[in-house]
Amino acid sequence: MSWVAGAWQSLTGSWGVDHPLLLGLLVLAALPLAASPLIRQGIPSVFLAPADGLSRAVSLSLRLAGSVAILAIVLGLAGLHRREQMIARQGTGAHLVLLLDRSSSMDNSFADRAPSGDQEAKSVVAKRLLDDFVARRARDRIGVAAFSTSPMPVLPLTDHHEVVRAAIAAIDRPGLAFTDVGRGLALALSSFADDEDEASRAILLVSDGAALIDRKVQETLRDAVARTPVHLYWLFLRSRGAKGIFEEPPPGENTPQANPERHLHLFFQSLGVPYRAFEATSPRAVEQAIAEIDRQETRPITYFERVPRRDLARPAFAVAAGATTLLLLAKLAERNLVRSVPTAAAARPQPAVRRAA
């Protein structure tokens, strides 16, 4: 019976059965076409009966109902199902890596002190708004990386957003002391190494500061963006009183040691990739910046939707029950045709009886 399974596999692409050997019983579906469970009535000559299209249609329908019932029962017993599929669809979105600063300064508020009252730590604000951001980006593939004293891979590119949101929920854990943004960015770029889809690639850096980037690391980053062009966004969570990245520093302070954030901004501008920086000094400003990034990354993208397996045994048995019910009703509606034949006694003439005078 292996030929049955092979034939079924070749004829069906997205359909399958759990017990293919039972498909050999499908030949029984031809029985209702060759025989009928209904009582046959003898007619001396069919030419004496007028042509009745309705009767022929009813007869054919009952035979087909019998075949359908057998087919449905066999397919239900065989475990008919539709296989899991990956369907390509068109939408808007990007392949995005969230690069999160986990230095200890992120645990402070925008006033650059421990949160108190209704104040929130910068990491808490980032977590809340990034979670909303991911919830709106249903078609994106998103990865997560972090950095402080060293880079930390958290999550590769994935379309399972529940996992992404769980990774974001952990960014408000206590951070470490230093900020190695250079190697963190190199880690984020390496997330696209195996990404062969023709989709927009973007890195969203969320940080409240910067540090000096070694020249070797700078060259590594230039080589990486040359091989893997990306859109780069920097959401700079600026503490009140800190130096801005867009301000021209006074003479004598325009050095990487005195103003590392501005020089990081200048370095990003020199990479030759689409780059945009957002400077936020409050939760409202962070929200506006993330909303703008959301509007920027709306390019066409091909994504794959996973359609899970669907068992069809119950629907098959339901079809079989309906067809069987129809046959049962037809059987209950049968009536015997009894021909009235005169008996010999009734047909024989009765002798006349004389009455006595």
User: Residue 336: what pLDDT?
Assistant: 63
Q: How confident is the model at residue 44 (pLDDT cuts 50, 70, 90)?
A: low
* Whole-structure pTM value: 0.62
Over residues 231-282, the pLDDT tens digits come to 999 998 888 777 888 888 777 777 777 788 888 899 999 998 999 999 888 8
For position 77, what pLDDT does the model report? 92
The fold for domain 87-306 equals Rossmann fold (3.40.50)
Q: How far is 125 from 123, CA to CA, in rounded Å? A: 5
Q: Are 202 and 295 in contact (CB under 8 A)?
A: no
For the chain, what percent of residues have pLDDT higher than 90?
18
Mean pLDDT score of the chain: 80
111-to-88, 99, 120, 205, 259 alpha-carbon distances in Å: 47, 23, 10, 21, 19
Percent residues over pLDDT 70 in the chain: 81
Contacts of 229 (CB under 8 A, 6+ apart): 201, 273
Secondary structure class of 63 (helix, strand, coil) = helix
One-letter amino acid for residue 285 of the chain:
A
Structure confidence at residue 357 as a pLDDT band (50, 70, 90): very low
Name the 3-class secondary structure at 97. Answer: strand
Burial bucket for residue 117 (CB in 10 Å: 0-12, 13-18, 19+): exposed
Q: Is the distance from CB of 142 to CB of 167 less than 8 angstroms?
A: no
* Stronger pLDDT, 143 or 106, i.e. the higher one: 143
Whether the pLDDT of residue 131 is over 60: the answer is yes
Q: What is the pLDDT of residue 343?
A: 52
**CA distance linking residue 91 with residue 297, whole number of Å:** 12
pLDDT confidence bin for 355, thresholds 50/70/90 = very low
Q: Tell me the one-letter amino acid at 166.
A: A
CA distance 155 to 140: 14
Residue 176, strand partner residues? 103
Phi then psi for residue 318, to 5 deg, are -65, -40
> Confidence band (pLDDT; 50, 70, 90) for 175?
low
Domain layout of the chain by residue ranges:
2-83+310-355, 87-306
CA neighbor of 99 nearest in space, from 221, 12, 198 = 221
The pLDDT value recorded for residue 247 is 81
Using CA atoms in the order 47, 51, 55, 58, what is the torsion angle rounded to 10 degrees?
120
